[in-house]
A and B are shown apart, each in its own frame.
Chain A
Amino acid sequence: MIKLESIVEKYQCRIYTTSIYDPMKEIRFGFCADLMSDALMIMNTVKETGILEDTLLITGLATNQSIRTAEMLDVEVVLLVRGKVPAPQVVTLAEESGIILIGTNLTMFQTSGLLYQEGVRGIPGHAST
């Protein structure tokens, strides 16, 4: 588990949704995808409650669809990688939807590796140890 403020500090993240940012938000799981079809398909297999709420969606897709996907799955935080910058309308949608949107210049692989070292794991049910 890692607190959001640690992710922001260690990976030099920009906080796009400042009005709803919660530094104490706990992240226990992570899921990486640029294809939202995959996120919807695989994250929808998680039946236990309380898992997806603590899952970080790590993506290079800086469009409304990343926010909508998170919203449908009850994921509360989206991390944009590879220095992707969301358009103002994406930030507005995230704030309206209550989705915390942050971004880092690190790649998806670097981000995932560092988070794994911190104890963040893949969502249950997909060979995540």
Chain B
Amino acid sequence: MLARKHFDIQAGNYDEAGKAASEIKRTLKLEHCSKELIKRVSVASYEAEINIVIHSVGGFADCTIDDHAVYLQFVDHGPGIADIALAMTEGYSTASDESRLNGFGAGMGLSNIQKSADEMTLISDVNGTILKLKFHREGDDSHDSE
């Protein structure tokens, strides 16, 4: 393992939203991941973090990097996604007016995360949601971002 990071994410705190994604991006740069990989991970991280800020009572993110892949795990403590298939549908959103005033709530977040990641697992019930993402490092030019 090359690096492991943990970030707490507060519900409803739009001023801090994106801080974890920013730190994850910085970590990937330090690990000399390629620009292409960094962008995919950054966008997915930001969307996932925003989802926790908008929709949950709070949670956390874990980022692990090894020679083969970048692993992200976003966990929140509820209230869960009632219908995952519906939530994955582009344009469907339960976001509040406040989140729309902050530029989010278009119903594209999960879809964008899925397109960015190489592997995605989403588990949810009323106690919370776990989103696991894997990004392969094959072909990752380790000097690209230097």
Q: Which residues of A are interface residues toward B (Cβ below 8 A)? A: 34-38, 40-41, 44, 47, 49, 59, 61, 63-66, 68-69, 71-74, 89, 97
Contacts and interface: CB of A to CB of B under 8 A. Distances in A.
A66 B36 CA distance: 21
A41 B114 CA distance: 11
B47 to A, nearest CB: 6
Interface of B: 14-15, 17-18, 21-22, 25, 35-36, 39-40, 42-43, 45-47, 100, 102-109, 111-112, 115-116
B112 A40 contact: yes
Contacts of A74: 35, 39
The SS class assigned to the A binding surface is: helix
Could you say which of A36, A47, A59, A69 has the most chain B C-beta atoms within 10 Å of its C-beta? A36
Contacts of A65: 14, 17-18, 102-104
27 contacts: A35-B100, A35-B104, A36-B104, A37-B103, A37-B104, A37-B105, A37-B107, A37-B108, A37-B112, A38-B106, A40-B112, A41-B108, A44-B43, A44-B112, A63-B102, A64-B17, A64-B18, A65-B14, A68-B17, A71-B25, A71-B42, A72-B39, A72-B43, A72-B45, A72-B46, A73-B43, A97-B22
